[in-house]
Amino acid sequence: MTGVTATATAAAGTDASYQAVFDAAVAADERIEPRDWMPEEYRSSLVRQMAQHAHSEIIGMQPEANWITRAPSLRRKAILMAKVQDEAGHGLYLYSAAETLGTGRDELLDKLHSGRQKYSSIFNYPTLTWADVGAIGWLVDGAAITNQVPLCRCSYGPYARAMVRICKEESFHQRQGYELLLALSQGTPDQHAMAQDAVNRWWWPSLMMFGPPDDESAHSAQSMTWKIKRHSNDELRQRFVDIAVGQAEGLGLTLPDPELRWNEERGHHDFGPIDWTEFWEVLKGNGPCNEQRITQRRRAHEEGAWVREAAASYATKHQTQRSRSQSQSQSQSQHANGEATA
Ligand SMILES: [Fe+2]
Ligand SMILES: [Fe+2]
């Protein structure tokens, strides 16, 4: 939807006519842009989702950053550093996209640090061996892509556009994880066992990344009506399982689910029950690393205060210099005009 269309059409109208313009735009698969009228619940729901997404990107840097200094080769180290930096960038795009809805980064970070907003629970699991870097890339980034590709068509323009670039980078993350695991899987028996162990530990938490089953998902139905979300949690989870099975075979690794098998009738893989008690416990803050992740985040924020202050005073200095030279050139041209008139 163009800002002009929405504003012009709804300018003389009531809330009901604004709503009608919004509904029509969503129904026609047009994009809602920052200056368009939107229902308050749509705005707050988007801010909540984008903030949680942004928080997950920056907290997600921690488990892997842990391995940068211990990467087994220069090549692996360079790849991992690039990946972790990408995640910082993803956080940046998403906080900026949330800002277009009138909520600043400071406010969102404050909510993260005080526990009023969440990040993806997957990052509350520890990275015990080098193979975890591979399992995270393959499974966690893989699940993220499955979730995020449909968000490129999300009804809110700035979010959708941020997702296009994020998804391109996530594909690289998934690929590097797969390639890392393949090298380990085809290595010594110990390396193979290490890869298998990492997959065993990350498989079920990755399936939980799609959120609770559809009938227990609080925001799903409304998000789908607004076309923020395009597919249900269970649909996306199934899509991920179907893709992962073939890839696990390619890796020569098994997925830790004895009930996993092809169902000819459904045209999908059946899989075993997910331990939702574990999911809710981690979400409540009782996962293995919840405390560590948020403490580290708060510390990084405090230690970075001087950088934010320096950047702000640099920006103010340049702003002052710019307005001073603008007013100087204005008074010079007024002077020159005055002389010419005289
Ligand atoms: Fe990311
Ligand atoms: Fe990623």
Q: What is the pLDDT of residue 2?
A: 47
**What is the 140 CA–ligand 1 centroid distance (Å)?**
10
Q: Residues 149, 122, 151, CA angle at the centre, nearest 5°?
A: 15
Give the distance (Å) from ligand 1 centre to CA of residue 289: 19
Q: What is the pLDDT of residue 339?
A: 56
Q: What is the pLDDT of residue 76?
A: 97
Q: Residue 92 Cα, ligand 2 centroid: separation in angstroms?
A: 13
Q: How far does residue 57's CA lie from ligand 1's centre (Å)?
A: 5
167 CA distance to ligand 2 middle (Å)? 8
241 C-alpha to ligand 2 centroid (Å): 19
Give me ligand 1 centre to Cα 5, in Å: 34
- CA–centroid distance, 87 to ligand 1, in Å, is 4
Q: 311 CA distance to ligand 1 centroid (A)?
A: 25
Identify the nearest ligand to the CA of 91 by its number.
1
pLDDT value of residue 335: 72
- d(CA 273, ligand 2 centre) in Å: 27
Q: Which ligand approaches the C-alpha of residue 172 most closely?
A: 2
Predicted confidence pLDDT, tens digits, the chain (342 residues) = 544 444 444 444 578 899 999 999 999 999 999 999 999 999 999 999 999 999 999 999 999 998 999 999 999 999 999 999 999 999 999 999 999 999 999 999 999 999 999 999 999 999 999 999 999 999 999 999 999 999 999 999 999 999 999 999 999 999 999 999 999 999 999 999 999 999 999 999 999 999 999 888 777 788 888 998 888 999 999 999 999 999 999 999 999 999 999 999 999 999 999 999 999 999 999 999 999 999 999 999 999 999 999 999 999 999 999 888 888 888 777 776 665 554
How far is residue 152's CA from residue 230's CA, in Å, rounded to a whole number? 10
What distance in Å separates the CA atoms of residue 294 and residue 105, rounded to the nearest whole number?
A: 17
Cα–ligand 1 centroid distance for 169 (angstroms) = 7
Report CA(39)–ligand 2 centroid distance (Å).
Answer: 32
Measured from the alpha carbon of residue 137, the closest ligand is: 2
Q: Which ligand is nearest to the CA of 82?
A: 2
As beta bridge partners, residue 32 has 156
Q: Any idea how long the chain is?
A: 342
Q: How far is the CA of 86 from the centre of ligand 1 (A)?
A: 7
Measured in angstroms, how far is the CA atom of residue 12 from the centroid of ligand 2?
45
Half-sphere exposure of 189 (CA within 13 A, CB side): 0
The alpha carbon of 331 and the centre of ligand 1 are apart by a number of angstroms equal to 50
Ligand nearest to the CA of 93: 1
- Which ligand is located closest to the Cα atom of residue 141? 2
Distance 226 CA to ligand 1 centre (A): 24
119 CA to centre of ligand 1 in angstroms: 12
Instruction: Give me the DSSP letters along 49-95.
Output: HHHHHHHHHHHTHHHHHTTGGG-SSHHHHHHHHHHHHHHHHHHHHHH
261 phi and psi, to 5 degrees? Answer: -155, 155
Q: Please, are residues 149 and 86 in contact by the beta-carbon 8 Å criterion?
A: no
Q: Which ligand is nearest to the CA of 58?
A: 1
The torsion angles phi and psi of 37, rounded to 5 degrees, stand at -65, 140
Superfamily for the 17-277 domain: Ferritin, core subunit, four-helix bundle (1.20.1260.10)
Give distance in angstroms: CA of 145 to centre of ligand 2: 8
The CA 166 to ligand 2 mean position distance, Å, reads 8
Candidates 204, 210, 205, 274; CA nearest to 239 is: 210
